[in-house]
C-alpha cells in the first residue's frame, strides 16, 4: 500500500510543481538508480565499490558517442551503452573481485579515477573539458488517432526516467528475493562459509557486479539524454562517494533506502539555494549526524521503531542455511 501511494505521489506531484522542481525530481530518479545499483553489490553482496562514478560516465559517454558520432537511433544507442557498461563491469570485476576488503575498494577507486582522466584527456574522442553536446532524447511514441507522445518537455522526460527507476526497483527486488539473491546475501554474511557449501562465490560476485554496473550505465544514459550535454564532471570519483553517502543515509539492504537517502541529500541542499556554497557542508553534517545517531539509516531506524510495518519484511537476509 505504501509503494502504491508513493507511486501516485510520484506521478501527480510533477504536474503541480514547476519546471525547476521537476528537473530536480529527474536528478533524484537518476541518482536513486545509482544508489540501487551500488546497494546490489555493496548492501546485498558485501563488496564496497567506489568506482560507480566510472560506470555512470561510461553509460553516459557510450550513449552519447554512439548516438551523436555514429548517428544511431535512441534505442540502439541506449542498448549499446547498457551492454558496454555491463561488459566493462564484467572485465573489471574478474581481477578486482579476487581481492577482498580495502584492496577491492582501492581497485574500484583507481578505476574511477582512470576513467575520469581518460574522459578529460581524450579530447578528440570525448570532447575533453568541452564535453559532448547534441545528445538526443527518446524517439516519440506513436499514440492512437495519429498523435505522438514526445519527450521535449521536462514532465514527459521525468515520466520516462521514473519508468526506468520503477523497473530497476522491481528487477532488484525480484533478484535479491530469489535463490540467487540469497547467495549474494550469504556471501555478504560469510564468504568463506558460503564457498564451503559448494557455492561458486566468485561467479556470484561477478554477476552481481556486472548487473550493478549495467544499472549504473542505464542511469548514465538517462542522465545524458535528459541533459543533452555531458561533461567530464560526471566522471569524477567523488560522484561515487556521493552515491555511497545517499545509500548509507537511506539505509543499506533495503529497497526504499536508496530513494529516501537520495531524496534527502539532493532535495535538502536544493531547498537551501540561498546558501549554495554550503551544499557540501550541509550534506556532510547530515551524513555525520545519521552515522552517529542512526547508523542503520532512515529506513533502518523506521523499521526499528515500527517492526510490524509491512515494509520491514523487504530485507531478504535469512541466513546462509537457506542456500545449503
Q: So where are the chain's domains? A: 2-237
The per-residue pLDDT for range 81-122, each reduced to its tens digit, is 999 999 999 999 999 999 888 899 999 999 999 999 999 998
CA atoms within 13 A on the CB side of 137: 17
Lowest mean pLDDT among 168-177, 224-233, 234-243: 234-243
pLDDT of 172 over the 80 cut: yes
Average pLDDT over residues 22-27: 90
Q: For residue 314, what pLDDT band results from cuts at 50, 70 and 90?
A: low
How many angstroms separate the Cα of 199 from the Cα of each of 186, 205, 211, 324?
A: 10, 11, 19, 9
Using an 8 Å Cβ cutoff, are 261 and 283 in contact?
Answer: no
pLDDT of 305 over the 70 cut: no
β-partners of residue 132 are 230
Place of cell 562514478: 53
pLDDT of 273 over the 60 cut: no
At residue 36, the pLDDT reads 95
pLDDT of 80 over the 90 cut: yes
Distance CA 280, CA 277 (A): 7
Pick from 53, 155, 34, 58: nearest CA to 113: 53
Non-local CB neighbours of 317 within 8 Å, separated by 6+ positions: 185, 189, 253
Q: Which residue has the higher pLDDT, 142 or 45?
A: 45
At residue 10, the pLDDT reads 82
pLDDT of 220 over the 90 cut: yes
Q: Is the dihedral of CA 95, 35, 316, 295 positive or negative?
A: positive
Grid coordinates of 273 = 539555494
Q: What is the mean pLDDT of the chain?
A: 85
pLDDT of 195 over the 60 cut: yes
Q: For residue 26, what pLDDT band results from cuts at 50, 70 and 90?
A: very high
Helices (H), the chain: 2-16, 19-38, 52-69, 74-96, 102-121, 123-126, 154-176, 179-189, 191-196, 201-227, 238-250, 257-271, 279-293, 297-305
pLDDT of 3 over the 80 cut: no
At residue 270, the pLDDT reads 66
Distance CA 155, CA 239 (A): 25
Neighbouring C-beta atoms of residue 80, cutoff 10 Å: 18
Average pLDDT over residues 59-65: 95
At residue 215, the pLDDT reads 97
pLDDT of 137 over the 70 cut: yes
pLDDT of 259 over the 50 cut: yes
The alpha carbon torsion through 84, 85, 87, 89 (nearest 10 deg) reads 170
Amino acid at each position: 500500500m505504501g509503494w502504491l501511494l508513493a507511486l501516485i505521489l510520484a506521478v501527480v506531484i510533477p504536474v503541480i510543481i514547476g519546471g525547476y522542481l521537476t528537473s530536480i525530481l529527474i536528478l533524484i530518479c537518476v541518482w536513486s538508480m545509482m544508489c540501487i545499483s551500488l546497494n546490489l553489490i555493496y548492501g546485498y553482496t558485501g563488496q564496497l565499490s567506489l568506482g560507480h562514478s566510472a560506470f555512470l560516465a561510461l553509460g553516459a559517454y557510450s550513449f552519447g558517442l554512439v548516438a551523436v558520432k555514429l548517428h544511431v537511433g535512441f534505442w540502439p544507442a541506449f542498448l549499446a551503452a547498457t551492454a558496454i557498461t555491463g561488459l566493462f563491469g564484467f572485465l573489471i570485476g574478474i581481477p578486482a573481485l579476487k581481492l577482498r576488503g580495502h584492496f577491492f575498494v582501492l581497485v574500484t577507486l583507481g578505476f574511477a579515477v582512470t576513467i575520469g582522466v581518460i574522459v578529460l584527456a581524450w579530447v578528440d574522442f570525448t570532447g575533453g573539458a568541452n564535453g559532448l553536446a547534441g545528445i538526443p532524447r527518446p524517439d516519440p511514441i506513436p499514440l492512437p488517432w495519429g498523435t505522438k507522445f514526445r519527450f521535449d518537455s521536462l514532465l514527459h522526460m521525468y515520466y520516462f526516467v521514473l519508468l526506468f527507476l520503477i523497473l530497476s526497483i522491481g528487477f532488484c527486488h525480484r533478484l535479491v528475493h530469489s535463490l540467487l539473491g540469497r547467495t549474494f546475501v550469504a556471501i555478504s554474511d560469510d564468504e568463506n562459509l558460503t564457498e564451503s557449501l559448494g557455492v561458486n562465490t566468485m561467479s556470484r560476485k561477478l554477476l552481481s557486479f556486472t548487473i550493478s554496473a549495467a544499472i549504473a550505465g542505464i542511469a548514465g544514459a538517462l542522465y545524458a539524454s535528459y541533459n543533452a550535454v555531458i561533461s567530464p564532471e560526471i566522471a569524477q570519483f567523488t560522484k561515487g562517494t556521493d552515491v555511497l553517502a545517499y545509500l548509507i543515509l537511506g539505509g543499506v539492504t533495503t529497497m526504499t533506502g536508496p530513494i529516501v537517502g537520495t531524496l534527502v541529500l539532493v532535495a535538502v541542499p536544493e531547498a537551501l539555494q540561498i546558501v549554495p556554497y554550503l551544499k557540501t557542508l550541509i550534506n556532510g553534517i547530515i551524513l555525520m549526524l545519521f552515522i552517529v545517531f542512526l547508523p542503520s539509516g532512515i529506513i533502518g531506524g523506521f523499521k526499528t521503531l515500527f517492526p510490524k510495518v509491512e515494509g520491514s519484511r523487504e530485507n531478504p537476509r535469512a541466513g546462509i542455511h537457506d542456500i545449503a
